[in-house]
Amino acid sequence: MKTAVFSTKSYDREYLNRFNKSHSHELTYFEAPLNENTVNLTVGYDAVCVFVNDNLNKKVIDELSSNGVKVIALRCAGFNNVNLDQATKKKIAVVRVPTYSPQAVAEHAVALILTLNRKTHKAYNRIRESNFSLERLTGFDIYGKTVGVIGTGHIGALFAKIMLGFGCHVIGYDVKENQDLMDAGVKYYDLDELFEKSDVISLHCPLIPATHHLLDKEAFDKMKNGVMVINTSRGALINTSDAIAALKSGKLGYLGIDVYEQEEKLFFKDLSEEIIEDDEISRLMTFPNVLITSHQGFFTKEALEEIARTTLKNLTDLDQEKKPDNQING
């Protein structure tokens, strides 16, 4: 299948090319994201392959259809950046990679907790400057703390089990309770109770209308003073301006994010020689108790292999007129 692959980096090309040897799709790589300004590049292609920050709104879908594109292959699990109704209306199949390495994201959430708590990133920089002082590096024992997990699907469940291994009291919130977690000792509460009880809150839910700005001023006000919040899911789960206010007041004691509301303008790019025009992320970067990583939670060898395998199989299934298990419309 002749496929235009957008938002590509060297690692995308490496893994897709490696696993394409057994599929033989015609892949053309574009570093640019797919959006209204670049959709003209899709003329003559059967499929487009996109990632989290490509914008497939109604206008883009309409032009994809006009250009003859029949398939949208997502190299990720989330599809909130695709106008699914319009794609279905235009008879464009949308496929995704529903799971690639939930362990990778769960482990990254734990890494954010440990780094924020024990300040290893600051200690590393101090030692490189021959500063061996321990001043202002005080952390706290993770053992015995109450960890709230919002969303207990594949990733959230793995994260919860890791935190149980640390000796934490793990509580959860989800529209569907996980019996295996309950058997392991996880207790479910409603959101307000989870906010009130948790020392650490980690987000592992999808971005849908009901979860947009799930953590806002009202939610922060219900939390313990000095709470730690971790987000490795989707940026818009948190109202950034409200989080900044909570950091300034001290209500929010630590914030670790691997995702950001406006990340499509920033993440996966080298902007080291440019002026960052986003005032909110610039403000977040000034807080000593904020740790930001640029959507690297998924970024392991195992995850990249699974993304490539599944994406190419999805294309092959459609090329052979089979409906993939991972098709989310039609």
243 three-class SS = helix
Same domain, 79 and 113: no
Same domain, 107 and 242: yes
Radius of gyration of the chain (CA): 21
> Considering only CA atoms, which of 319, 301, 318 is closest in space to residue 100?
301
At 155-201, the pLDDT tens digits run 999 999 999 999 999 999 999 999 999 999 999 999 999 999 999 99
Exactly one of 75, 204, 263, 306 is catalytic; which is it? Answer: 263
Q: Can you give the pLDDT at residue 194?
A: 98
Going from the C-alpha of 198 to that of each of 61, 148, 239, 241, the distances in angstroms are 42, 5, 19, 22
Average pLDDT for 252-257: 98
Same domain, 201 and 184: yes
238 neighbors 229 (Cβ within 8 angstroms): yes
Position 325 in a domain = no
Position 166 in a domain = yes
pLDDT at 310 over 80: yes
Ramachandran region, residue 151 (left: φ > 0; alpha: ψ -120 to 50; beta: rest):
left
Position 326 in a domain = no
Same domain, 91 and 236: no
Split at pLDDT 50, 70, 90, the class of 11 is: very high
Q: Can you give the pLDDT at residue 22?
A: 93
Backbone angles phi, psi at 302, to 5 degrees: -65, -40
Same domain, 231 and 305: no
Q: Can you give the pLDDT at residue 283?
A: 97
Please report which residue ranges of the chain form alpha helices under DSSP H: 10-20, 58-66, 84-89, 102-118, 120-128, 154-165, 179-184, 191-197, 217-222, 240-249, 279-284, 301-319
Q: Can you give the pLDDT at residue 264?
A: 86
Same domain, 45 and 124: no
Going from the C-alpha of 103 to that of each of 12, 157, 158, 214, the distances in angstroms are 20, 10, 7, 24
Query: How many structural domains does the chain have?
Result: 2
Q: Can you give the pLDDT at residue 299?
A: 95
Which pair of tokens denotes residue 278? 């986003």
Average pLDDT for 285-314: 96
Q: Can you give the pLDDT at residue 101?
A: 86
Q: Can you give the pLDDT at residue 14?
A: 97
223 three-class SS = coil
Same domain, 6 and 142: no
Instruction: Please say if 280 is a catalytic residue.
Output: no
Exactly one of 75, 108, 234, 309 is catalytic; which is it? Answer: 234
171 neighbors 194 (Cβ within 8 angstroms): yes
At 33-79, the pLDDT tens digits run 999 999 999 999 999 999 988 999 999 999 999 999 999 999 998 89
Q: What is the CATH number of the domain that holds 277?
A: 3.40.50.720
Q: Can you give the pLDDT at residue 100?
A: 85
pLDDT at 330 over 80: no
Position 329 in a domain = no
Instruction: Please say if 295 is a catalytic residue.
Output: yes
Instruction: Please state, for a pLDDT cut of 90, what percent of the chain lies above it.
Output: 95
Position 230 in a domain = yes
Split at pLDDT 50, 70, 90, the class of 237 is: very high
Domain encompassing residue 311:
2-100+300-319
Same domain, 53 and 145: no
Cα 306 from chain centroid (whole Å): 16
Please report which residue ranges of 185-274 form alpha helices under DSSP H: 191-197, 217-222, 240-249
Same domain, 76 and 152: no
pLDDT at 284 over 90: yes
Same domain, 192 and 73: no
Split at pLDDT 50, 70, 90, the class of 321 is: very high
30 three-class SS = coil
Average pLDDT for 279-299: 97
Exactly one of 75, 295, 306, 309 is catalytic; which is it? Answer: 295
pLDDT at 84 over 90: yes
Q: Can you give the pLDDT at residue 80?
A: 87
Same domain, 186 and 70: no
